Amino acid sequence: MLPWQTDTDETRLAAVRNTSFSKMVRDHLLGRILRGELPPGERISEPDVAAELGVSRVPVREALRELESSGLVVSRKHAGVFVHTPDADEIRGLYDLRALLDGYAGRRATSLPLPARLALCDALDASIADMRTAAQVQDVARYYAENLRFHWLMVEAADNLPVAETYRNVVQKLHLSRLKNLSQDMGMKASIAEHAAIARALRDGDATRSEQLLATHVRDAFVRLNDATG
């Protein structure tokens, strides 16, 4: 799961109480897509989803339209709705956009009041420690999840809702391209060193270096992904 998502019994019950049927269906399908249960290219059957969740086809149709607007599914005339499969050009463009957003978040985070900035740095250091632990036992999926959490901590700290929403959408689409590679080491050792340098720049309050390190780190991650999968 991605760092802004939870999947506890309590949150599921709260969702049932407080959300519309269409949002409940959307969240259900989104979770299945992001967990890889509905992989890229998979057809989503509207009547099957309705039967599974015990709802009419109307909220399913609304949920699929919302997922299509976010780019996670595509509708093909006379064929149905399918989980989106990002191509190489789209992935490259998404990484470029993510580099800009991460750089922005890094610059913004350095302007936090000192107590808040140091608390964020402590959280980032703890995240790096968890990444190191995952790397030592070659738990790539755990490392990947913690890596995303590190970046999401920075984006949350930037306190810019449109940026956070855009970032979430970008990472979700990139996640589709990573699902089949979550067992591969994409240069964890180098990546951890880059995260540590980012955390040090933030602790020093160096806005320019923090922005540059984050943008370069994301672009280097794209190169490592290509090297590992190409």
Instruction: Note the pLDDT tens digit of each residue in 121-176.
Output: 999 999 999 999 999 999 988 999 999 999 999 999 999 999 999 999 999 999 88
Tell me the β-bridge partners of 55. none
Task: Tell me the CATH class for 88-229.
Answer: mainly alpha
Which pLDDT score is estimated for 1? Answer: 55
Instruction: Note the pLDDT of residue 17.
Output: 47
CATH 1.20.120.530 in the chain, residues?
88-229
Lowest-confidence pick of 5-9, 106-110, 186-190: 5-9
pLDDT tens figures, 4-52? 565 555 555 454 544 588 899 999 999 999 888 999 999 999 999 999 9
Q: Which residues make up the CATH 1.10.10.10 domain(s) of the chain?
A: 9-83
Per-residue pLDDT, averaged over 108-119, amounts to 96
> Residue 94 in contact with residue 169, Cβ under 8 Å?
no
- Which tens digits make up the pLDDT trace of 44-64? 999 999 999 999 999 999 999
Which of 30, 35, 215 lies closest to 141, judged by CA? 35
SS3 of the chain: the string is: CCCCCCCCHHHHHHHHHHCCHHHHHHHHHHHHHHCCCCCCCCEECHHHHHHHHCCCHHHHHHHHHHHHHCCCEEEECCCEEEECCCCHHHHHHHHHHHHHHHHHHHHHHCCCCHHHHHHHHHHHHHHHHHHHHHHHCCCHHHHHHHHHHHHHHHHHHHCCHHHHHHHHHHHHHHHHHHHHHCCCCCCHHHHHHHHHHHHHHHHHCCHHHHHHHHHHHHHHHHHHHHHHHC
- On whether the CB atoms of residues 229 and 102 are closer than 8 A, the answer is no
Distance in angstroms (rounded) separating the CA atoms of residues 86 and 222: 14
Options 1.10.260.40, 1.10.10.10, 3.90.550.10, 3.90.1150.10; CATH for 9-83 is: 1.10.10.10
Say what the pLDDT of residue 45 is: 94
N-to-C CA span, the chain: 25
